[in-house]
Chains A and B, each alone.
Chain A
Amino acid sequence: MRHGSRLGFAPQALGALLSLAIVLNIPAASSQSTEPTEYQLKAAFLFNFAKFVQWPSTSFTGPQSEFGICILGQDPFGKSIDDELHGKTIGEHPVTITRCKSLTEIGNCHIVFVSSSESKKLPEILATLKGSSALAVGETDGFAASGGTIQFTLEQQRVRFIINVDAAERARLQISSKLLALAKIVRDVPGNGKS
């Protein structure tokens, strides 16, 4: 014997669901904040690193000279970092964003973000940065252990960072204790090509 649709109320249930959806879709004030993308978030972190790190005075040509953030390699940020940091200043230094394709262009950078596309050239890059006061930020595995200063990681979908205090010292950067407290601290791995 054929039974009729066992869930005869299904069409009505469907109608109820639809009405509920319309009713609920009255925009509430700001309950649905959009989720920032990973790189929008990391751009904000770069700005914060700049706020909580002190560069030696020799790294600025004047009191209002530019604060340079350079992206080395394939740019994962896109337009978002320009939008976010447009018009911002670190102290009195206006922030500028430069995309660098090669190592020769990173002379005036205070923060050098090393894209994961450059992961194979890491030893070369860090050797070039040696002696300068650039803050080297990366996100590939082993970046901090290899001598980079700050490495982004993702834990449970939240951005975290590792700081290599030896690298910071070599670059004559003074990192605020506030930033250090929130970071995972590592030191240079012995015998890692440190000259």
Chain B
Amino acid sequence: MGVSTKEQVGGTRPAPQAALFDVRVRVSTRSKLRSVHALLSAVVLFALPLVSAPSAFPQTKDADLTNQSLEDLMSIRVVSVSKEEQKLSQTAAAVFVITAEDIQRSMATNIPDLLRMVPGIDVAQINANSWAIAARGLNGRFANELLVLLDGRSVYTPTTGGVFWDVLDIPLADIERIEVIRGPGASIWGANAVNGVINIITKKASETQGGLVDAVGGTIDQGFGTAQYGGNLHNNTSFRAFAKYLNADHFPNASGAEGGDGWGLSRIGFRTDTDFSSTDSLTFEGDLYRGREGEPSVEIVSVVAPPLQDVEREVNLGGGFLEAVWNHTSSSHSGFSLQASYSEYERNDFLGETRGTSAIAFQHHFAWGERQNIIWGAEYDYSQSRTVGSLLIALDPPNLNTQLFSSFIQDEIALVPSRAYVTVGVRVEHNYYTAFDAMPTVRFAWTPAARQALWLAVSEADRTPAETDAAIRSYLGGFTGPNGPVALELLGNPQFGNEKAITYEAGYRISLAEQFSLDLTAYYNSYRDQQTTEPAAPFFVSTPSPPHTVLPFVYANLMNGESYGAEVWANWKVNTRWTISPGYALEQIHMHLNPASLDTTSVAAAEGSSPVHSAQLRSHFALARNFSWDTSAYFVDRLTDPIIPSYTRVDSGLTWQWKNKASLTIAGQNLARDRHQEFVDSTGSAATTLVKRSIYAEWAWRF
């Protein structure tokens, strides 16, 4: 599909041309100086606490604790690692947990910006309401190797395998934690989890009691408000209900004009938790949203000419979900959960889709003998999709109902209790396109000392075909040939097979007292049967008129390759007031075509759509008098396909907290650079605009 963008900043370096692309970005030396300036500002912001931190701070006054009364002790808030987190620290996987505290300290106002802090997750903002997010490479607007779950319900769309991040707009204050697992989570989570799983877990209703009003106003986030109330119903039920409104401004496009990508969303939602006894609990949650967004993209009005027109579409968004979860604890080491959900969305964008998905899932965990812990589960999903389609993207057939059966079993065996564990697991799925598929994993974890863990894993993960892989009809361009109009079209392949990956991982974790923790992961991925686009024999059609010859390009699985990389991050409590968290990720991807392939774009796109190096640094500084100061800096290396120069992003914010009642935050985002580009979507469905510097103020009041 052709997308034409030009950015002139001086200096010229023409981009390599792919058959159907014509993307030229000129990189200037001025942008390099800006990056240096950005880095310097970041250094100053981070080094300042060193200069101003008082020299010696008294350690916790331990004696005070034992002299305090029981009532006083019971009123002290503890920031602790939850049991789940403790277990995660011994997990044989590359897990990064974004805690509620991380969310509170971050200047992010949406989930994509929160994910930037995770090494190995590539976050690139395309325009004000679209993002390209992937784990360990292969990024794109509909990057499909990442599974995203919200309280156990998957929120990716089976149409493309990707996620609509704009409508994942839940109140950040209600998030308990986000577990980000880089690497194949397919054996536990399912076939879309080839390179990662993002598991968003919301707080129980009992943790969000009372009233909360949160209002944000700023230059980009023009108006943002959440009002929430939580309370207790009779007996053992706690609830919360919220209403959230968001209105976000447009970004500028490359020529400085308004990008047409402003958007607004309204949402109402609730959650109830009922504890029937010490062994059974029932949770209900749901929400409804409605909104509109400007979607700058390209439009194709006719098969013949002129092929691509820039257009700013007004897209209506709507949807909601309802979920029920029953948790039963049979004993201290066994229990099960049963979950049922229904979710629906509609977007009248280029595809014009309405989709409703029902899912029911059961999971059971139990100890078997002295040394084994077994988890197994089964799930059934039924999804119905209706699409309208356009010349840019349509599906054939436009309406489709699909079923998914999925089951998994995992056995954790203690070779040496509390020291060494081997976990074997397998997931077996039956999906609409490729029937049965099994994804096994073997993991080994060794805890040589109480706070050290070493782990190894080998897993196979498959990406099963999404509807677009099998059914897409997308017009790419056209010209007038000797025998009349000729149209180039991308066609899905009903015989498209699974993309496979075998991943080898190793990791090491250590924490020293409460002061310092370090996590290292290295991986090697062997990819097979990756997606390519192959020219096929032309044929003649009469619709859509005028009658024309079609030069088809069909999806096939003719690319193989490997990727390897590493992720490292640390958390360092420098003193009682100052904590810094640095991170770094390396991603190297090398793909090659099967000799039978005639593809010209897939190798470059797979190798170049994510940065080789990326780094993060977060700093939290508790100042005097209830003020705290947070800064985060992110460095993202350049991309080669699309061609995007490297950039450094710096966010910083000052927060004043008054007891537990109110807080005021003034924060700036993208402070280092006024405008920069992060991604270009190759499907043409979302045009690129420039992410710009912004400032906001946030007032939160609890009562």
Residues of A within 8 A of B (CB): 1-3, 5-7, 10, 13-14, 17-18, 20-22, 24-28, 31-38, 40-41, 43-45, 47-48, 52, 74-75, 78, 80, 83-85, 88, 116-117, 119-120, 122, 140-143, 145-146, 154-160, 178-179, 182, 186
**Known interface pairs A5-B693, A27-B54, A44-B66; A159-B624 also in contact (CB < 8 Å):** no
Q: Nearest 5 pairs between A and B by C-beta?
A: A38-B80, A44-B65, A5-B674, A28-B624, A25-B52
Q: Kindly state the separation between the CA atoms of A44 and B53 in the bound complex, as whole angstroms.
A: 30
* B69-81 contact mask (Cβ, 8 Å, vs A): 1 or 0: 0110111111111
Residues of B within 8 A of A179 (CB): 70
Residues of B within 8 A of A25 (CB): 52-54, 623-624
Q: Which residue on B lies nearest to A37, using beta carbons?
A: B514
Residues of A within 8 A of B29 (CB): none
Residue from the list B57, B80, B624 in contact with A26, Cβ < 8 A? B624
Please tell me if the beta carbons of B624 and A31 are within 8 angstroms of each other in the complex. Answer: yes
Residue from the list A10, A140, A158, A186 in contact with B332, Cβ < 8 A? A140
Residues of B within 8 A of A145 (CB): 278
Residue from the list B53, B60, B329, B654 in contact with A40, Cβ < 8 A? B60
**Which residues 479-515 of B sit at the A interface, judged by CB distance below 8 A?**
513-514
Q: Which residue on A lies nearest to B252, using beta carbons?
A: A3
Residues of B within 8 A of A (CB): 41, 44-45, 48, 52-54, 57, 59-63, 65-66, 68, 70-71, 73-83, 206-207, 209, 219, 252, 255-256, 278-279, 329, 331-333, 367, 370, 418, 450, 513-514, 576-577, 621-627, 629, 652, 654, 666, 668, 671, 674, 692-695
**Known interface pairs A119-B333, A182-B70; A157-B77 also in contact (CB < 8 Å):** yes
Residues of B within 8 A of A117 (CB): 418
Question: What are 30 pairs between A and B in contact, CB < 8 Å?
Answer: A2-B256, A3-B252, A5-B693, A7-B674, A10-B674, A14-B652, A21-B627, A26-B624, A28-B625, A34-B60, A36-B76, A37-B78, A37-B80, A38-B80, A41-B65, A41-B73, A45-B70, A48-B70, A75-B450, A84-B63, A88-B66, A120-B367, A122-B332, A140-B332, A154-B80, A155-B206, A157-B77, A158-B75, A159-B73, A160-B74
Q: Kindly state the separation between the CA atoms of A5 and B59 in the bound complex, as whole angstroms.
A: 45
Residues of A within 8 A of B623 (CB): 21, 24-25
Residues of A within 8 A of B57 (CB): 34
Please tell me if the beta carbons of B654 and A36 are within 8 angstroms of each other in the complex. Answer: no
Please tell me if the beta carbons of A84 and B66 are within 8 angstroms of each other in the complex. Answer: yes
Q: Which residue on A lies nearest to B451, using beta carbons?
A: A78
Please tell me if the beta carbons of A74 and B418 are within 8 angstroms of each other in the complex. Answer: yes
Q: Which residue on B lies nearest to A117, using beta carbons?
A: B418
Residues of B within 8 A of A156 (CB): 206-207, 209
A84 CB to nearest B CB, Å:
5
Q: Which residue on B lies nearest to A29, using beta carbons?
A: B624
Q: Kindly state the separation between the CA atoms of A48 and B68 in the bound complex, as whole angstroms.
A: 9
Extra 17 A-B pairs, beta carbons < 8 Å, given A74-B418, A120-B370: A1-B256, A5-B693, A6-B674, A6-B693, A18-B44, A22-B48, A22-B52, A28-B624, A32-B577, A44-B65, A45-B70, A45-B73, A80-B62, A85-B66, A119-B333, A156-B209, A157-B79
Please tell me if the beta carbons of B52 and A182 are within 8 angstroms of each other in the complex. Answer: no
B546 CB to nearest A CB, Å:
40
